Amino acid sequence: MDNCALRPQQLARRLFFSVCVLLVFLPSRFVVADSALPQTVQLQAKPNRCVALHQGQVCYQDVVLSWHVDQASEYCLYQQHAEEPLHCWPAVSSGEYRYAFASDSSVRLQLVNTKTKAVVAETLVEVAWVYKANTRRQTHWRLF
């Protein structure tokens, strides 16, 4: 019975040991939790806005697209709904691409992991204009 009983010193040592074990393992458990969180990915377009004079005109802008992900892999940059990529990178975690933007409407750009086919980041290059089109195309006469 005495063998089973813990003396105060033993109790204190075990408690200290347990706390130490917790302190050692807790951070490692937090690290595991961190790796389970979504990756920090960034896809930036600079500038992200193109201004044409008149609505309907094609807007031209040299856009620098830069991206960064946590895990290196094969990535491709796509215009949304486009079949062909603008550019692809092999086994890297960041990249930069000079994009000769030319469109009469806003374009969404997507960074795709080619192994998983997942869209890991996206950004929008907006088209704006000074004068909106105010034209009605139908033929009509009017009298007051």
Partner 1 sequence: MLDQVVFIFMHTLFRAIVIIGLAAFGSLPLNCIAGDLSSDVRKGASGPDSGNGGYIEVGAGLTSYTSPMVGIPEGNEKSDVHTEIFLDINARYQYNGWFMELFSQSLEQFTMGYNFFNGSNAYHNDGNWALDWVALAEHDEMSAEESNDFRGLKKRRGDFMSGPRATSYLGNYIVQLHALTDISNTHHGELFSLKLARHWQYRNWNFHGIVGATYRSQEIADYYYSIDASEASEKYPQYNAPAGMSYVTEVGATYPLSEKWVFRGFIRRIDLDSSANDSPLILDDRGEMIATAISYVF
Q: What is the dihedral angle through the alpha carbons of 49, 97, 44, 101, rounded to the nearest 10 degrees?
A: 20
Answer for which of 12, 58, 92, 119 binds partner 1 (CB under 8 A) is 58
Q: How far is the CB of 47 from partner 1 (least distance, A)?
A: 11
Tokens of 105: 């409407």
**Among the residue ranges 81-89, 90-98, 108-116, 131-139, the one whose residues contact partner 1 (CB under 8 A):** 131-139
139 in contact with partner 1 (CB under 8 A): yes
Answer for which of 56, 70, 96, 104 binds partner 1 (CB under 8 A) is 56
Tokens of 15: 């408690």
Give the burial class of 89: count Cβ atoms within 10 A of its Cβ; 0-12 exposed, 13-18 middle, 19 or more buried: buried
Q: How far is the CB of 86 from partner 1 (least distance, A)?
A: 19
7 in contact with partner 1 (CB under 8 A): no
Number of residues counted as binding partner 1 (CB under 8 A): 27
Chain-centroid distance, C-alpha 97:
15
